[in-house]
Amino acid sequence: MSFVNHMTREINCKIVYYGPGFSGKTTSMQHIHSRTAPEVRGKMISLATETERTLFFDFSPPSLGEIRGFRLRFHLYTVPGPVFYDASRQLILRGVDGVVFVADSQRERDEANVDSFENLESNLAFNKIEIGRVPLVFQYNKQDLGSAMPVAELDDLLNPGRLPSFGSTATSGAGVFETLKEIARRVVVAVRDAG
């Protein structure tokens, strides 16, 4: 899964932000990029489609230290939300080291959340990855809205195994870095255990 670059002495880890359209994946990534020091992050690249964008950038957080003398570099991706971009989602999940599932907390979006999570499971399987074998955390976005479901209710709907989950408001950044820190921690543990 992770790629070791012996020339640069880096371990490259891929984290994918997955979820239904307009759940907050892009806004979360933009917040992370804008709040990450320019000297440790790469340029944000946006691949625009007719209705959505796929974003990518990488960063190397010095706070995580090294593994066996190699620095860690995280590559963050979003997937397009609409179902007709399924081939793109499958491709973006190839070689994934960790997933953040960004759900839209609005009650009227529960069916879209469930459909997107089932799509994540099938696209991981397409890439021969069992969902229980990849680090996964949940980010329940739009918690600031009046129609938002409580985190516990969203866990009942999407996360019966009670993996880490965080309420968030991506427009203000609330909960965004907490989610990123947890998925990064889990990816680092998985890389250390695999090595």
Instruction: List 48's β-bridge partners, or say none.
Output: 53
- Do β-strands 70-78 and 53-59 pair in parallel, antiparallel, or remain unpaired? antiparallel
Q: Which residues of 60-77 are buried (b: 16+ CB within 10 A; e: fewer)?
A: bbeebeeeeebbbbbbbb
Q: 3-class SS at 41?
A: strand
pTM of the model: 0.93
Residue pointed to by tokens 């959340």: 113
Contact status, residue 102 vs residue 23, Cβ threshold 8 Å: yes
Per-residue pLDDT tens for 141-182?
999 999 999 999 999 999 999 999 999 999 999 999 999 999
Contact status, residue 155 vs residue 167, Cβ threshold 8 Å: no
Per-residue pLDDT tens for 62-118?
666 678 788 888 999 999 876 667 888 999 999 999 999 999 999 999 999 999 999
Instruction: Over range 18-41, report the average pLDDT.
Output: 93
User: What DSSP string describes 121-155?
Assistant: HHHHHHTT--GGGS-EEEEEE-TTSTTBPPHHHHH
Residue 6 in this model has a pLDDT that exceeds 90: no
